[in-house]
Structure 1
Amino acid sequence: MKKISKISLLVSDLSSAAILRAYLIAAALKTLGLEVEIMGFLFGKNLYRNLPSELNVYHLPGKNFPDFFGEMRKLLPKINGDIIYAIKPQTASFGVALLKKLYSQKPVILDIDDWELSWHGGDDWHYHPTLKQLARELLKSDGALRNPYHPLYVKWMEGLVSRADAVTVHTTFLQQRFGGTFVPNGKDICLFDPAQYEPESSRIRYGLSEYRILMFPGAPRPYKGLEDVLIALDKINQPDLKLVIVGGSPYDDYDQQLQQQWGRWIIKLPKYPADIMPDLVAAAHIVVVPQRDTLETRAQFPLKLTDGMAMAKPVLSTRVGDIPKILGNTGYLVEPACPEQIAEQIQSIFQDLESANQLALKARERCVEHYSIEAMASTLKSIISRL
């Protein structure tokens, strides 16, 4: 560790949620006394909003090929860490890192926190264009292959995973597929500390004091299973039960669709800075993470799980991917896409909320031991020492 003083974290798109994983890794590295720089490309209009205020990043505009090569040339000399840590096997992060390694000989760590090809059909995706299609997609100004995020480039990057000097992953699914060291998402357990918050005061602050609160502190997407919770609330039909959605969807109008059909059960809160999230989660009676079973979700580590665990809230989730392993015996699990079981568990939890809160204290203990920033740092220290 004495030979390593600075880590360069490369993020493929600083306007996306990919930067959240980079921030957690940066926080863990800083506890080891290392200097960290976060850099990359901005393919959206602004930096991803849900970030701690102290996070400083260096960014260049994200562009399509061939202009993207010019931006890469500008970024390469700015990367001056002793180790290059690429977030996601994308051209704009891992591809840049491998180019820097070619002439600097600096070691590269690749972090894989999602199966990128799962968004395109996984192993069933293939690219077999006709010669005419290939020419059109390469040469036209809006051709598909000019996009650095085209699945063909993702597939190429996944084929180069072995070129990394070390690989970190955060779920069993990803470890089985790509190898590497298991580094699950850590939580800032000092910030997410239930002893610092009074739940009823938090409910009053956000206008929630009249209700029993099921909270989903994230962006709604169809695979996240919120429809199953809302169908469950239809079945229970108790007007003081509310599903609080924090932030809404930055991707599409899916949250508006939910509002149109189940608006009587939904309270929508705006986006808040990351350091406000513990106060929001404190207002919940139950944190719900009702993931459905899809290619995408099997590879994911939902950060909402550790939001609830760290804040000692009863967590109701589904048997998908690593979720049972993450919760251990400290939460409530149902089968995916099963509103009937969700309804039963909600009623059971509220029938003995005191026992549920006692179990949630054990979830907090488990989070501190296995899913804290400090736990991440311990594993990263051993990886960096080997390099």
Structure 2
Amino acid sequence: MNHKLSGFTGLKLQQVQAMTNQSNIIAFPVNKHSDLSALSQQNHDLLPPQSVTLTKVDSESGEQDRKRYQYSYGSVGANFNAAKPHYSLGKALAKKGEWEKAISSYRKALEIDSEAAEIYQSLGDALVKNGELDEAVIVYHKAIELQPNLWEVQHNLGDIWQGQGRLDEAVVAYRLAIELNPDFCWSHNNLGDVLIKQEKWEEAVDGYRSATKLNPDFHWSYYNLGEALVELQRWEEAVVAYRFALQLQPDLPQAEEKLNNALHYRVKSNLNLALSYYRQAIDRDPTDIESYIKALEIAPNDPELQAGLGTAWEAKGDVQKAIEAYRHAIALNPRSTAAYLKLADILEQIGQREEAGAYKLKALRQDSTHQTELTSDYLSLETTNQLAAVTDKMSVTQNATISQSKPKLAVVSWDMSHNPVGRAFLLADMAKEAFDVELIGPIFPFYGQELWPPLQNADIENSTFIANNFEEFVRGAKQLAQAQKYDSVYVSKPRFPSLFIGMLIKHYSQCPLVLDIDDCELSFFKNETEASWLELIQRIDSKEGNSPYGEIWTRFCENLIPLADAVTVSNVALQQRYGGLIVRHARDEKVFDPKLYDRTAIRAEFDYSDRDQVVLFLGTPRPHKGIFRIAEALEKINDPRLALCMIGTINDKRVSDRFAIYKNARIDFHKNQPWERLPELVSMADMICILQDPNSPISEYQIPAKLTDAIAMNVPVLITDVPPLADIIAAKCAVSVNDDRLESAIKNLINSDNKASLPDRHRRFYFLSEFSYGVNAERIRSAFECAQQQKSQPWPQLFSDVFDLVAAKSGV
């Protein structure tokens, strides 16, 4: 389920507020179902616009209310025009908040015309404001009797009854209000509040969803939706709801804590679900080794699973693996009598009687009922004590080994010498907390002879080989895949070099393959259509067929994407095309934090004062990146405060010559800077412009990493509105601009006191909740959990066909 902040046709918050002021909706309280009511004294402004305590109605029904209050407004319908002076005076007094006088005027109007529904409605509103709720209910009923389609009255009755705890009546009133006017978001929202109090969670979710569709800017509806979804343990949807609430209102009390809890339980729920599947498989077949191994990847410290694995290995006849599993079980639970006895039995079977006796003695210490199970070869007390000491030490050592081990992950790049390895490096860097990561891939001399510079000093293990031709690529790929056993493989980009190596690792290591897609690779070629198996065979010996990274192989790889065990993508546009879980172009929140850097000092280093407005471009200056359009905008604006700071060596004289034509624009050129300085360099910017060609097929699916850098460092961003950025623009973390309005957007930004569309704290929170390492590392783990569940699927025949074709072509 995807929530978006744009695309809805309902009322905006300002419209709702205006409607509330202009109509007969009364803004009065409903005791919140959650703990927010306790916060009302802490921050009144953050609470919903419902903040007055209502008086409890003692009567049981409207009929009893009517008996308590007798009205004598007149027995015949009088002329409304005659009553209008009193009615108008009442309205004027109500605007001034003089409720007693307004009530008196309305009563006089009703003495003249007792059949005017609008007068009853206005009187009811004034009685509510004056705290006379019992009488207000009766007056509202009279208004409805005269004019049944008064939805505002039904809504107000719902609010009264909700505040008084008459929940069933409140539900009826809100539903009638919605039936009469389905476009008023407050009726849906308040109905949700009542249903939450009744613990009707599913119905409450429907109510809040309707409210958010009508008013996508109302943070309380999202917050309360999250509360209802938590009760239903629908953690993924709850996370989305809380995030939208916090994007709209970053200061929302306790929402960040509730979001964190939902994130925690989401991961736990996914793991528990997968674990339950494996336990069911084990129950069906106690010798199912593969299910034990998968279950232990999720719950590595479960001694019962470890002991069960030992029994399964023993049943399969693998004594050494059984011994290893029993020892792991004992290390995890030194009081496991059964594990001691099972290990003792298997050791005795292979002739290791002294060690077997030691384990039986340990079992005896745990449970004396097993004393008859000691071997007939009685051991001396001295030997027994020595062996017991050894086994105690062994348990401690094994326990330490278990806690330190991580599953081995290969992250594969299709080339290790130029920019495409950047995404693979990012994935590896995020995954290294949970995995023992190795970054691998070929180097094609066409792109360079050395490792990509940022990778040369990285603390991630890497392995590569030079591939001068197709045969060398295949031979090197096979050697790389066979070099060691991996627990999982993560393929970066659906290019043939990376996919082929991933397929080989999946084959040799019998492990799951997750494919990451951060571009539509077809966009880089003239022919953007998928290549069939027949077309590949027909062109296999052509010039492009001899290039593993060429067009025909890339187009054919579209057929291989659905065969991955799981897919991750970098943005919403790619998700719509390929499915999968979104793993963003993230940044390390421990490094990308504005508080860590002295912005003034960095600006001074590059000769910028506080008065200057720095438009930063960081990277290799190339025309397709919009650099000349930015220069042209500064030329037209001709403001001496504006400076285009270009950090990146220009190696193309045509680019230098083109910049020379701009005489009014202040453009400063700086040489390449170390990769490690990226966050502090971004921190000196006043804005970053990320311009893309909306008609380019590349722009349809690509999201620039510079956007993450800017959001992380609280720098306002002007961006072209293209599909991959839709959710970011909707979240108000960047300002979309058309090409013909770039100048006005820049001027608005530099002349505005509030340079961002939302407060800095909002942008920072959005970064932490969507683009940080912590969040996206969790998503990577989730992807591999899904892939583990798919690993048992049959080996894809197309993979085997590709292996046969490559072997025939390369001779390897």
What range is the shorter-chain TM-score in?
A: 0.7 to 0.9
Match of 1:317, as an amino acid?
A: I
Match of 2:451 among 47, 64, 80: 47
Q: Does 1:371 align with 2:371?
A: no
Change (3 A) 1:123 1:245: same
Could you tell me how far apart the structure 1 residues matched to 2:553 and 2:559 are?
10
Q: Which residue of 1 aligns with 2:722?
A: 320
Q: Does 1:303 align with 2:708?
A: no
C-alpha deviation, 1:199, in angstroms? 1.7
Q: Does 1:329 align with 2:732?
A: yes
Could you tell me how far apart the structure 2 residues matched to 1:208 and 1:64 are?
50
Q: Which residue of 2 aligns with 1:91?
A: 496
Conserved in 1, the CA contact under 8 Å of 2:491 and 2:499? Answer: yes
Q: Which residue of 2 aligns with 1:183?
A: 583
Change (3 A) 1:102 1:254: farther
Conserved in 2, the CA contact under 8 Å of 1:309 and 1:363? Answer: yes
Change (3 A) 1:207 1:56: farther
Could you tell me how far apart the structure 2 residues matched to 1:300 and 1:271 are?
24
Q: Per-residue CA shift, 1:116-145, capped at 9, x if unaligned?
A: 110113535879x99xx959x63xxxx333
Q: Does 1:171 align with 2:571?
A: yes
C-alpha deviation, 1:170, in angstroms? 0.9
Change (3 A) 1:376 1:265: same
Q: Which residue of 1 aligns with 2:625?
A: 224
Change (3 A) 1:175 1:236: same
Q: Per-residue CA shift, 1:43-100, capped at 9, x if unaligned?
A: 2122222456434421111322133222223212125320011111112111111123
RMSD between superposed Cα atoms in Å: 2.7
Change (3 A) 1:108 1:146: same
> Which protein has the larger Cα radius of gyration, Structure 1 or Structure 2?
2
C-alpha deviation, 1:256, in angstroms? 3.3
C-alpha deviation, 1:215, in angstroms? 0.7
Match of 1:223, as an amino acid?
A: H
Match of 1:207 among 607, 617, 632: 607
Matched position secondary structure for 1:352: coil
Change (3 A) 1:261 1:310: same
Could you tell me how far apart the structure 2 residues matched to 1:254 and 1:179 are?
41
The number of residues matched between the two structures is 374
Could you tell me how far apart the structure 2 residues matched to 1:154 and 1:85 are?
18
Could you tell me how far apart the structure 2 residues matched to 1:122 and 1:267 are?
39
Q: Does 1:247 align with 2:648?
A: yes
Could you tell me how far apart the structure 2 residues matched to 1:364 and 1:77 are?
44
Could you tell me how far apart the structure 2 residues matched to 1:322 and 1:117 are?
16
Q: Which residue of 1 aligns with 2:554?
A: 154
Matched position secondary structure for 1:268: strand
Identity of aligned residues (%): 29
C-alpha deviation, 1:306, in angstroms? 1.1
Matched position secondary structure for 1:367: helix
Could you tell me how far apart the structure 2 residues matched to 1:72 and 1:231 are?
48
Change (3 A) 1:255 1:166: farther
Q: Which residue of 2 aligns with 1:119?
A: 524
1 or 2, which has the higher strand percentage? Answer: 1
Matched position secondary structure for 1:60: strand
Moved more, 156-165 or 71-80: 71-80
C-alpha deviation, 1:355, in angstroms? 4.3
Change (3 A) 1:206 1:79: farther
Which structure would you say has the larger RCO, counting Cα contacts within 8 Å and 6 or more residues apart? 1
Matched position secondary structure for 2:743: helix
Q: Per-residue CA shift, 1:338-377, capped at 9, x if unaligned?
A: 1x41111111111124443963442122111111111101
Conserved in 2, the CA contact under 8 Å of 1:211 and 1:240? Answer: yes
Conserved in 2, the CA contact under 8 Å of 1:109 and 1:168? Answer: yes
Match of 1:385 among 785, 788, 797: 785
Match of 1:291, as an amino acid?
A: Q
> What is the TM-score of this pair, normalised by structure 1?
0.88
Change (3 A) 1:359 1:216: farther
1 or 2, which has the higher helix percentage? Answer: 2
Change (3 A) 1:268 1:110: same
Matched position secondary structure for 1:123: coil
Matched position secondary structure for 1:21: helix
Matched position secondary structure for 1:100: helix
Q: Does 1:73 align with 2:473?
A: no
1:254-273 correspondence to structure 2 within 5 Å:
255-256=655-656, 258-262=658-662, 265-273=666-674
Change (3 A) 1:355 1:267: closer
Q: Which residue of 1 aligns with 2:431?
A: 29
Change (3 A) 1:102 1:53: closer
Conserved in 1, the CA contact under 8 Å of 2:613 and 2:643? Answer: yes
